[in-house]
Structure 1
Amino acid sequence: MLDHSVDDIDRRMPSAGGGDPDGSAGGAGGLPRGIDREYALDPDAPEVTFDRGDQAIARARAALATSDLARIRDVAALVKPPRPVAPVSWTTLDDALDERQRAAVDAALRAGDLALIHGPPGTGKTRTLVEVVRQRV
């Protein structure tokens, strides 16, 4: 059961409209004019993200059987086996990569179709992916 009513939540949300377009004019409490609360909930904001995801899924489903997208779709869905892993020789460009990151780079470079780099926040996924891109270009 919620401890707060919808009215309680509404009182903490910003008012729509008002204020200067650049938000520079101060209102009560240092907030721009027309804004009398510190935050707002925008129920429509994530729709773009979900719409794009839906469109990507639709494109993957409709992909021609001979296309690269169809191949990746089928491998990711375990409908087709991935292409054989190709041996590759590479030299690290980022010496700060740790052993796990280097192993992930190696696996990605050897992947025939696709590679998945995953892990919790702060484990160096972006740094690892940057190394993969630098190796490929």
Structure 2
Amino acid sequence: MKSTDIFNAATFEIFYLCLEEFPSEVRLDPNIIARKVEGYFGDPTGDLEAYNHVVSIAEKSGDTINWLAHEGYIRLEHEYLSEPSTYVLTPKGLQAANVKIDSLENKPTFIEIIKGGIKHITLASMPLVISAMLK
């Protein structure tokens, strides 16, 4: 499991959550995103490895939220210290979600991929989707 794989899966899940509630704000919890992201990877063996696996993915998920906000794809609406902060998709993020993914068959947009079901995207094709979106 590479850091870029976690970034791609977390980005996918974050955009999914933001688009599901657009134009309303959505609470982005790195721990909840991490649980969804870990589903893309095989189960680690052993309790300690499993714990480290989830902690690592949660940290990377939080870093991904911060990176997407810094780069202007999502905007921090309300920052909370005791609970997850809320974000909303920006015009740049919405434009990215509407980009056609030329490297996939039928050249779908990210929004069309989500409508088809989030699990239809494999870990192998995720970098193609995310790199096309974030150009």
**TM-score, scaled to structure 1:** 0.31
Larger Rg: 1
More helix by proportion, 1 or 2? Answer: 2
Instruction: Name the one with the larger strand percent.
Output: 2
Larger relative contact order (Cα-Cα within 8 Å, sequence gap ≥ 6): 2
TM-score, normalised relative to structure 2: 0.31
